[in-house]
Structure 1
């Protein structure tokens, strides 16, 4: 019930159209109830008394009723669909907007396929109930009650005898409703898993082919597909058992009505007109109950799908934009990490080792800071805290003496240009990808950023230059080319703080050298963090931070660290030895 009430909140803004649909539905139901009564009068007042004027007049009345009903059904159908589509539109808008506000910690745990399933199939199930199922459910109930009342006023004895089978139909419906709910719950979950498997396979198709594991992936998908098939067949089995039985009882009601009615006609306790009207009215009893099975199906789909949507909507936003947040327009780029401790959301803060442990350092405006460390040392988390992708567990990260949690969130992130290790490009033109964070940039500004990223010449050599469309996730470009486009995107933003997270890892040494030469001008006066594995990437750094197991173990210039015997010197010796081989 709570789920249905929450769905109704999304229906409320469409109250006008709901009212129109209900009004027309009530009118159409009245027409349906009046038509058999008119048929009875045709037989009793027209045919039996050989009065053709009555027959013609009442027949024309029936035709007019059907015409009005058809017109009403058009308006009602349009109104219902409009309400359903508006609910879907609002739900998808809210869900997508909420996903944009959720922090990285949510997406670290969430499965893309499950989110896609909720955004599409689950919301569509809600729409089917709101736009079709709910209204037809009400129509069926009104028709059943109204038909029973009309029949009781015309011949109550025949009506009561004919309704003997109704409790059996209701019992079948009760059992069906009790069992089909869990079946639809399994189907929604299985569909999410199937979508996840499909999404992962398509996204990772290069890895699949590189390791020749197509058959493995086919078996994995076949297993998910079979589970989905079996779950759907379990649900179909419930329908196959319930619906024919309901049809049998419905048919029995019709037969019973004919038999009992005929007896009463022979006894002269029912007119032939009333008998004919009862044949029509019988369908007003049978079809609502038979349709109720399908409406329960639609209702249960919505009841099981909606909580999956609301689960995402109810996920708290743990990185909140502060009210009256500080403006970052005049940010200069002084950075301070003050005894920073950081755990991921799913870690036990008492038992698990922190990702960053008591990290403290200060960076002046315009300094170039190299960050070194082995895999898992906390380098990327350091930058994630700076941009507030995550919040610190304790301690503070400050820019210009202000805690990053006090800055207006969008402004903070626009002030930090990041070239991530895993480059992502959109299915759009190269120009649109470079200008993604600054869409109003001029062509000259875009080309200038591309030149500094050492990608301008390559773009010009492409068929349509900057208007060349690239495939999804940058398909059509090499890893190094994608990285340079991402670098141009960050440069174009002209941020006071620049972060290069393994930004030249996918380019050759010569290109890396050219990029770093070009970046000397870009980094001038700009606070820059360079996260790298290769020492050549940080040769121009003013200072180097060395992380190990989440702790800052070394800090100093290239010369100072090289004179020591720690991680930096060991890495320096290994890379020199490798270069000589």
Structure 2
């Protein structure tokens, strides 16, 4: 699968350009986090350039009052020259207002461009996450994933919104201000730069020492997030086993480790920040000493010395800020490299030809989406100032994120129309499969690093269309693994799985999974209405079909007893419902898509025997005949199966 935002680029640079969001091109930016950061903002680069330019110009404007003060001392106080007195007073009063206005525009541009980049990155990363292999989630702690999507992304936004401007500001101040100091008096300028080599040496050492600390801090933050996520998700288990004290101590251990690592990093910073700050302050001592001698000798006027000393901050300020800037740049580098790694994740399980995702600008025309306010400002800048075509709305808010943020503001029919239009444009083949299943000499090993855990060995069987198959066996014998192989969440280590005589790798993944209704033994319900959970696979399905699916799953009676019926909002993961109720809603969700292949993995383990019998009877009376695989521990649940393995 290739997700590519259509960045404008010149024809003659087409071969050298590397898309910073593309899985195929992101490798180019490994170990180049700053180049990657600039590349992500390429569609709004003129806004970012405007921001940096205005901030730098404001820094230069701050040098003007020092020159005016020098003129007052030499011309007004000593020579009584009042020629430009009124003009300079007005200029002194106007400069702060001009500077404030330009600084406001510069900061606003930085926020617009950084929020644009953050929105695009967040959407692309979430899309990568949704299309990652099951193996990725098996081997990656949830806390690490959350750290990437929160703390690391926020650090990148901070880099765009603030750190980039400060770095350019202090660099330009040092270079331009230093040149001007040489123009005023080259002897004093050389004197002020006497300690510069020491600053460069200390800054270089600090940069090398602090980076490993920030890398360790990010890793520990991921561990801390994992502990929090596990305890939020498993709070019922924690309470049931009276382990709150143990989990609190476990959190304290990870939190103390996180605190200690931050303290170690602070100790490194504490060694360098005072030194850099002291050097910046000490620069004025040799300047005043040498400058006083020059004034006494008549080589330099008093006004020029005051001007020079007032402008000495152009050297001392970058020296003082160097420690903070370097520390933050190292933090950004660590976060950016983690995000680049996540962008470069390449799933092992792919469709034969990966189509564009819904979050790709090429997926379909989204002119019905109203641009966000930041995007409207960006487009005004492009059309009014740069005389260029406006950017489409989806560049600011791709489809997936747009539905997340704006769904509450849209009518349901409008949202369904967008989804239908997207599917129609992608021309996704939704032709139902016949449902013939064949496993040919299938073996499978779970892998974690270099370790392999064999689960299945040379499994072969064939299931005819419309046949009902029961599978039973001891815990850990690989029953659920068969389901995962069928839905191609994993690929077999050896052998192959076929549907309708065609190997699974030859199917488009979405078509394959759209034809398989799976009810897992670990039921997951979304924090939504009961109607929304049942219609999850077909969000535009008629309400009558939702009711029919609930009836078939024996869920209609208890749904009618809830406060708002199908409009009742259930908590995350089905909080507030019993295990049997969650299983029945999960079954209704699978039946709602009318799949040619239906897999029931221990679906009725939490319901009573009477309800179980009623569900089995309803499944036999469906108005279509799916190929059904029933996995169960209770033989009674399999008595209507055509065959039992």
Map 1:192-231 onto structure 2 (within 5 A): 192-231=222-261
Deviation (angstroms), 1:368? 0.3
What's the counterpart of residue 466 of structure 2? Answer: 366
Candidates 235, 244, 258, aligned match of 2:288: 258
SS at match of 2:466: coil
Deviation (angstroms), 1:173? 1.8
Deviation (angstroms), 1:324? 8.2
- Structure 2 residue 362 is the aligned partner of structure 1 residue 332: no
What's the counterpart of residue 618 of structure 2? Answer: 518
Give the conservation status (yes or no) of the 8 Å contact 2:279–2:319: no
- Structure 2 residue 119 is the aligned partner of structure 1 residue 17: no
What's the counterpart of residue 396 of structure 2? Answer: none
2-structure distance, mates of 1:420, 1:131: 44
Candidates 639, 642, 645, aligned match of 1:539: 639
2-structure distance, mates of 1:506, 1:533: 12
Deviation (angstroms), 1:298? 1.4
SS at match of 1:354: strand
What's the counterpart of residue 559 of structure 1? Answer: none
Deviation (angstroms), 1:328? 4.7
Map 1:48-63 onto structure 2 (within 5 A): 48-63=78-93
CA-to-partner distance for each residue in 1:448-494, whole Å, 9 max, x for gaps?
11111111111111111111111111000011110111011011111
2-structure distance, mates of 1:190, 1:260: 51
Map 1:420-431 onto structure 2 (within 5 A): 420-431=520-531
What's the counterpart of residue 571 of structure 1? Answer: none
1-structure distance, mates of 2:41, 2:183: 37
1-structure distance, mates of 2:297, 2:469: 104
2-structure distance, mates of 1:205, 1:260: 70
Candidates 384, 387, 390, aligned match of 2:487: 387
What's the counterpart of residue 549 of structure 2? Answer: 449
Give the conservation status (yes or no) of the 8 Å contact 1:126–1:301: no
- Structure 2 residue 578 is the aligned partner of structure 1 residue 478: yes
Deviation (angstroms), 1:516? 1.4
- Structure 2 residue 486 is the aligned partner of structure 1 residue 403: no
Give the conservation status (yes or no) of the 8 Å contact 2:446–2:453: no
- Structure 2 residue 444 is the aligned partner of structure 1 residue 342: yes
Map 1:290-309 onto structure 2 (within 5 A): 290-309=320-339
Question: Deviating runs (4+, > 6 A) in structure 1?
Answer: none
Deviation (angstroms), 1:165? 2.7
**Which moves more between the two structures, 295-304 or 171-180?**
171-180
**Which moves more between the two structures, 308-317 or 296-305?**
308-317
- Structure 2 residue 133 is the aligned partner of structure 1 residue 103: yes
What's the counterpart of residue 236 of structure 1? Answer: 266
Give the conservation status (yes or no) of the 8 Å contact 1:437–1:493: yes
Q: In the comparison of the two structures, how many residue pairs are matched?
A: 543
Give the conservation status (yes or no) of the 8 Å contact 1:319–1:391: yes
What's the counterpart of residue 527 of structure 1? Answer: 627
Give the conservation status (yes or no) of the 8 Å contact 1:47–1:55: no
What's the counterpart of residue 137 of structure 1? Answer: 167
TM-score, normalization by structure 1 = 0.90
Give the conservation status (yes or no) of the 8 Å contact 1:33–1:150: no
SS at match of 1:269: coil
What's the counterpart of residue 63 of structure 2? Answer: 33
Deviation (angstroms), 1:198? 0.5
CA-to-partner distance for each residue in 1:428-456, whole Å, 9 max, x for gaps?
11111111111112221111111111111
1-structure distance, mates of 2:472, 2:197: 76
Residues 530/204 of structure 1: CA separation in 2 closer, same or farther (3 Å cut):
same
Unaligned runs of 5+ in 2: 1-30, 356-427
**Which moves more between the two structures, 167-176 or 307-316?**
167-176
SS at match of 2:352: coil
Give the conservation status (yes or no) of the 8 Å contact 1:33–1:143: no
2-structure distance, mates of 1:183, 1:510: 61
SS at match of 2:345: coil
Answer with 1 or 2: which has the greater Rg: 1
- Structure 2 residue 442 is the aligned partner of structure 1 residue 412: no
Map 1:459-498 onto structure 2 (within 5 A): 459-498=559-598
2-structure distance, mates of 1:257, 1:223: 52
1-structure distance, mates of 2:573, 2:468: 30
CA-to-partner distance for each residue in 1:500-543, whole Å, 9 max, x for gaps?
00000111222212221222213862100000111011111001
Candidates 278, 301, 315, aligned match of 1:248: 278
SS at match of 1:344: strand
What's the counterpart of residue 557 of structure 1? Answer: none
2-structure distance, mates of 1:465, 1:145: 69
Candidates 195, 207, 210, aligned match of 1:177: 207
Give the conservation status (yes or no) of the 8 Å contact 1:501–1:530: yes
Give the conservation status (yes or no) of the 8 Å contact 2:432–2:515: no
Candidates 299, 308, 315, aligned match of 1:285: 315
2-structure distance, mates of 1:428, 1:260: 74
Residues 237/485 of structure 1: CA separation in 2 closer, same or farther (3 Å cut):
same
- Structure 2 residue 66 is the aligned partner of structure 1 residue 46: no
Residues 76/353 of structure 1: CA separation in 2 closer, same or farther (3 Å cut):
closer
2-structure distance, mates of 1:162, 1:285: 8
Give the conservation status (yes or no) of the 8 Å contact 1:341–1:355: yes
2-structure distance, mates of 1:509, 1:51: 105
What's the counterpart of residue 537 of structure 2? Answer: 437
Cα RMSD, aligned residues only? 1.9
1-structure distance, mates of 2:328, 2:449: 40
1-structure distance, mates of 2:529, 2:543: 13
SS at match of 1:336: strand
2-structure distance, mates of 1:124, 1:219: 29
**Which moves more between the two structures, 140-149 or 166-175?**
166-175
TM-score, normalization by structure 2 = 0.81
1-structure distance, mates of 2:75, 2:522: 84
What's the counterpart of residue 19 of structure 2? Answer: none
2-structure distance, mates of 1:323, 1:219: 50
Deviation (angstroms), 1:309? 1.6
2-structure distance, mates of 1:151, 1:476: 72
2-structure distance, mates of 1:530, 1:523: 19
2-structure distance, mates of 1:24, 1:4: 21
- Structure 2 residue 298 is the aligned partner of structure 1 residue 268: yes
Unaligned runs of 5+ in 1: 546-581
1-structure distance, mates of 2:207, 2:79: 50
